[in-house]
Each structure stands twice: as C-alpha cells, then as structure tokens.
C-alpha cells in the first residue's frame, strides 16, 4: 500500500485466501477479495483479477506462491494462476517485482528495505517468471547483506 500511495497512485486491490479474508474481514474495505483454492470459483477469481488489470488505473498485489510466506523463505514456488491471469489481461500489463526485507542490524528498531524492479517478460510462463523473481529476490538479499556489513 505504501509503494502504491507514494509511487504508483493506482486503485489498490489484492487477492487473499478465502479463509484468511473471513478471519480478517476488514481487508474487504481495503481492496481485498477472495480466492478459494480447490474450488471451481478459482477461475472466477483469476478472471476477476485479469479484468482488474485490464484497466491500467488498477493495481493488484499478488502473492504468486498462493499464500503469505515468511520473508526468510529463499525460494518461492509460484502457482499456475499467475500465468492464467497474465494471459487473460486485455492490453499491456505492468509487472513490478517487490521484496520487503526487515533487518535490525545493530539497532533497537528494525529497518524495512523495499526493493522494486519493473519486469518485462518475453512470454507469460509461470516457470520463467518464478525463476526471474527468485533471482531478483536473491539479489535483494545480497544487497541487504552488504548493507549490514557497512
């Protein structure tokens, strides 16, 4: 949300698991909508996401691994829904990789480092996007480690 307010200035949306959205229903008022894995409604949620992204005034935050995971997971495995969404979008879609890393270094309070990179793939294939994102994420971690050495 911070990156959107400061840089992108688009209508903010994000998909989250139905169980999580039920538990944190206030997210509905902040742009959240649900997806239920293993149900036929998955396609409806993916198509809705593509519809949102077809309007360049919108942005959708995706957790392409299908769930919120620890920032300490070094490698993410993407679900196939990413490919489905991107191939359904009408027009050009802007993809921005994002990594948020928290570090305390020797301070009492943590620092948040937000890394962004615009991504323009040749084609929308899950495996390729996953590999490119994981490379980006590893680079972010390397940069962050160098910061801690200073």
Q: Which tokens in the block code for residue 75? A: 């490698």
Q: How many independent structural domains does the chain possess?
A: 1
Q: Which tokens in the block code for residue 98? A: 């994002």
150 pLDDT higher than 70: no
Of 131, 60, 119, give the one whose Cα is nearest residue 89: 60
Split at pLDDT 50, 70, 90, the class of 121 is very high
Task: Quote the pTM value.
Answer: 0.86
58-79, pLDDT tens digit by residue? 999 988 887 777 777 788 999 8
Domain encompassing residue 119: 2-149
5-38, pLDDT tens digit by residue? 999 999 999 998 888 889 889 999 999 999 988 8
Label residue 134 exposed, middle or buried (CB < 10 Å: 0-12, 13-18, 19+).
middle
């Amino acid at each position: 949300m911070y990156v959107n307010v400061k840089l992108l200035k688009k209508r903010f949306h994000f998909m989250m698991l139905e169980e999580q959205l039920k538990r944190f229903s206030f997210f509905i008022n902040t742009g959240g909508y649900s997806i239920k894995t293993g149900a036929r409604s998955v396609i409806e949620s993916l198509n809705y996401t593509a519809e949102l992204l077809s309007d360049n005034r919108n942005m959708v935050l995706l957790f392409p691994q299908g769930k919120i995971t620890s920032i300490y997971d070094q490698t993410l495995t993407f679900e196939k829904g990413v490919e489905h969404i991107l191939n359904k979008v009408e027009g050009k879609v802007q993809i921005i990789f994002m990594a948020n890393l928290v570090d305390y270094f020797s301070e009492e309070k943590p620092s948040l480092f937000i890394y962004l990179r615009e991504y323009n793939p040749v084609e929308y294939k899950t495996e390729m996007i996953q590999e490119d994102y994981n490379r980006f994420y590893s680079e972010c971690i390397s940069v962050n480690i160098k910061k801690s050495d200073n």
